[in-house]
Amino acid sequence: MNKPINPIQWQDERVLLIDQRVLPLKYEILEINTYQEMAAAIKTMVVRGAPAIGVSAAYGLYLGARDIETDDPAIFLEELAAIASVLSQTRPTAVNLFWAINRVLETAKTAAKTESVAAIKVLLLTTAKEIHQNDVATCQAIGDYGLTALPDTSKPLTLLTHCNAGALATAGYGTAVGVIRSAWREGRLDRVFADETRPRLQGSKLTTWECVQEGIPVTHICDNMAAHCMQKKMIDIVVVGADRIAANGDAANKIGTYSLAIVAKAHNVPFYVAAPLSTIDFSLSDGSQIPIEERDTAEVYQVGDTRICPEGVDFYNPAFDVTPADLITGIITEHGVFEPNDLITLKS
């Protein structure tokens, strides 16, 4: 096994991000020194995946706070709120983004009652580091709880996943791919099937790359092959990640997840969502209230720099879809595996 994949690192007063836009052909590290650079990195998908976005935003908020030049806590909070607004506008669907930003802001507001601006800045960095470290531990717990959701087969099983919910989408280890890692470690896994995940091909580029790094057997399939593979009894279980889950268990994930869930239901294949508690948005009663990001249509009509459609064609490019709770077998969290309608018991 190669060294653990660390998509986000804090080093020498800056953030180091693996540039996921150039994987798997290149491995490059991008230095982030300002909140503006972090906002751009999130928006352009240098870093992506809901938990990773949250961790990155927490560091981005600290980078912005570090450069605020005032000793007045009230003015500091005003400028920090403006920085938070910029970061919060980068990716609207991933609720972890807002969860992390709010946690950092609340830390600042509480500290401002008694602490100096210099002390508040120290606390914000500490908070960002805690969010970072906790995410790794959370993902490891999700992976291990996921073992209890695996079908009881007489031989190692095959698992299909969509998009990338791995180390690259988190602070390390992964959610859906965390289940894969734990299953492989315990000898429960024979092979991963990874959907390509059009239009940005995160499954092709990222999930397969992670599997190769760790020597996990992986078969890459086009998105429209999943039903065929299930019909041929090639898939034992589907596990995907999520960017936001409503209180009733409806889950928003990368576009194509909903259709995959329908196919799994038709073939009696268990369909699980793996995500941390911070991905559950208890303020939303159901998935119809989840905002769906629409991205540049160039992602659809061209691959790389090559256009694949004629001029004069219209395009639609939602980045996510919502899978209804009744298509989800269970939701794997760091607190255990729950049926969608039981998530409400986790509300604090």
The confidence score (pLDDT) of residue 191 equals: 97
The confidence score (pLDDT) of residue 234 equals: 98
The confidence score (pLDDT) of residue 318 equals: 97
The confidence score (pLDDT) of residue 154 equals: 85
CA–CA distance, 61 with 101 (Å, rounded to integer): 7
The confidence score (pLDDT) of residue 348 equals: 73
| Positions of CATH 3.40.50.10470 in the chain | 147-346
The confidence score (pLDDT) of residue 3 equals: 65
| Positions of CATH 1.20.120.420 in the chain | 8-141
CA 259 to chain centroid: 19
The confidence score (pLDDT) of residue 4 equals: 77
| CATH 3.40.50.10470, applies to 147-346 | yes
Q: Which of 87, 119, 116 is nearest to 103 (CA)?
A: 87
CA 243 to chain centroid: 6
* pTM greater than 0.85: yes
The confidence score (pLDDT) of residue 133 equals: 96
Which one of the listed residues 243, 250, 281, 321 is annotated catalytic?
243
Tell me, yes or no, if 243 is annotated catalytic.
Answer: yes
In the DSSP assignment, the letter for residue 174 is: B
The confidence score (pLDDT) of residue 271 equals: 98
Instruction: Please count the CA atoms within 13 angstroms of the CA of 203 that sit on its side-chain side.
Output: 26
Q: Which residues are bridge partners to 189 per DSSP?
A: 157
Query: Is residue 267 within 8 Å of 234, Cβ to Cβ?
Result: no
CATH architecture of 8-141: Up-down Bundle (1.20)
CA–CA distance, 274 with 239 (Å, rounded to integer): 7
User: Per-residue confidence of the chain (348 residues) as pLDDT tens digits?
Assistant: 456 799 999 999 999 999 999 999 999 999 999 999 999 999 999 999 999 999 999 999 999 999 999 999 999 999 999 999 999 999 999 899 999 999 999 999 999 999 999 999 999 999 999 999 999 999 999 999 999 999 988 899 999 999 999 999 999 999 999 999 999 999 999 999 999 999 999 999 999 999 999 999 999 999 999 999 999 999 999 999 999 999 999 999 999 999 999 999 999 999 999 999 999 999 999 999 999 999 999 999 998 889 999 999 999 999 999 999 999 999 999 999 999 999 999 987
